[in-house]
């Protein structure tokens, strides 16, 4: 059962539409449409709601629920897709590349 607070939380505070592809800022966790917060970040790096400075936006695909009609099945099945987070953290990628190269060099000179 949705409450009026849950419904508000599912709306983007920038465009006021329902959030489909979610963008979450790292400083405060507020959620917006990814495209809205990405465009916002081109001129501002503070949260539109609380003004906390952010440095990373995480793209999150919302959880999807599917229901098979009862006419086709005796019982209702739900399929849950885990939230899929996608974010690019340059330092993490650089550290991973460094570990791989170090390992390859170690094997080469063994």
Using alpha carbons only, give the angle 84, 32, 94 rounded to the nearest 5 degrees.
50
Segment holding 35, helix H or strand E: helix 34-41
Q: CA separation (Å) from 85 to 57, 62, 65, 80, 88? A: 10, 9, 17, 15, 10
Q: CA separation (Å) from 24 to 7, 17, 20, 45, 103? A: 17, 16, 12, 13, 34
What pTM value is reported for the model?
0.50
- Side-chain-side CA neighbours of residue 91 (13 Å): 2
Domain extents for the chain?
A: 4-108
Tens of pLDDT along the chain (110 residues) come to 344 444 455 899 999 999 888 999 999 999 999 999 999 999 988 999 999 999 999 988 765 555 555 554 444 444 444 554 555 566 666 777 788 877 777 777 76
> Are 25 and 37 a contacting pair, CB within 8 Å?
yes
CATH number for the region 4-108 comes to: 3.30.40.10
């Amino acid at each position: 059962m949705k409450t009026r607070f849950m419904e508000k939380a599912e709306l983007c505070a920038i465009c006021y539409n329902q959030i489909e592809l979610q963008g979450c800022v790292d400083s405060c966790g507020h959620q917006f449409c990814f495209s809205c917060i990405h465009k916002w970040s081109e001129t501002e790096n503070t949260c539109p709601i609380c003004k906390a400075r952010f440095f990373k936006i995480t793209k999150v695909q919302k959880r999807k629920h599917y229901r098979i009609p009862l006419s086709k099945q005796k019982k209702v099945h739900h399929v849950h897709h885990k939230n899929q987070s996608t974010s690019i953290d340059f330092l993490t990628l650089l550290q991973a590349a460094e570990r791989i190269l170090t390992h390859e060099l170690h094997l080469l000179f063994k």
